[in-house]
Amino acid sequence: MNDTINQTINDTATTILTQNEVAGIMFPLTGSPTMDIFLVTLLVALFTTLVNKKFSDQVKIKALRAEMKELQKKMREHIKGKNPQKAQAIQQEIMKKNMENIKHAMNPKILLITMIPLLVVFSFISQVFGEFGEFFTFPIFGWTFGWLGTYIIFSIINSIILKKVLDVA
């Protein structure tokens, strides 16, 4: 019985030491997989945000969004005023403006410039963090995420913050 307990303790200690050694080698930025993914997503979000700002027509996109917001107000007024035909016509106009907005925001040049670095980053993260399984728990709901879920959450947060700070449409 004692031999089994000692063996279990030795195996657990070896596993912990191995993981810590791997963490020191594999996670060169901070030693923590969660913080490393956060920093990688921050860099990727900064890169993609700057590329979007440089290669998209920010003035046109902001103008289109302002026009759509104004049209939405008018549409709500017509809905409240029981004028569904006018509201439907305005909705069609909003859809046209939205398609034009997407055309400006989803520039093929931007997609080409950002695609290759993103593929490299995903490949790197997958190789480095893929074998560690779940390592980030979302505290409010108790959800646990692996590297991809953690990357997505941090990427959304970092992108929103950077777009606001850098004033990117």
The CA distance from 7 to 3, in Å, is 6
pLDDT digits (tens, 9 = 90+) for 137-166: 767 777 888 888 888 989 999 999 999 999
Is 53 in contact with 62 (CB distance < 8 Å)?
Answer: no
Q: How far is CA 91 from the centre of its chain?
A: 30
Check whether 167 has a pLDDT greater than 70. yes
Domain boundaries, the chain: 33-56+107-169, 58-106
Instruction: Return the half-sphere exposure (C-beta side, CA atoms, 13 A cut-off) of residue 35.
Output: 9
Quote the pLDDT of residue 69: 93
**Backbone CA torsion sign across 147, 152, 155, 157:** negative
Report pTM.
0.69
Other C-beta atoms lying within 10 Å of the C-beta of residue 45: 20
More confident residue, 161 or 124: 161
Quote the pLDDT of residue 49: 93
Quote the pLDDT of residue 126: 83
pLDDT digits (tens, 9 = 90+) for 49-74: 999 999 988 899 899 999 999 999 98
Is 149 in contact with 136 (CB distance < 8 Å)?
Answer: yes
The CA distance from 20 to 12, in Å, is 12
pLDDT digits (tens, 9 = 90+) for 34-48: 888 899 999 999 999
